[in-house]
Structure 1
């Protein structure tokens, strides 16, 4: 049985992501996850623009999504 007090217990990823995104929206750049997620999104957008098959919006979403996931599940 998993400990419910453990922050890495593998709980509901969707609920955790929603809570993190709402916190980022309310606190803006003051939230600790905002800068890394935006940076990863920008890097993904540049990579998407350089790659021939992927466009920059897909790269942006992929980069930001990956960093958000890494912030939730290190």
Structure 2
């Protein structure tokens, strides 16, 4: 190989290495941002689902407490009638 060809090859390799050094962090960060945003989206979906389930369970709990209060008052009323 001639010396001019070697110099041209070295320049191309140096340019390629420079381009990789400059653009690799950008590509890496974009990929990380993409995957982190996917994780955040998944966690947000789970959060919304759990909030809705919590609301439903609170409503069931309130209904059970109300039913229990009604039953207690009926039982006490029947006890007082017997005496």
Larger Rg: 2
The answer to which structure has the higher helix fraction is 2
Q: Which has the higher contact order (CA 8 A, sep 6+)?
A: 1
Q: TM-score, normalised by structure 1?
A: 0.29
TM-score normalised according to structure 2 size:
0.27
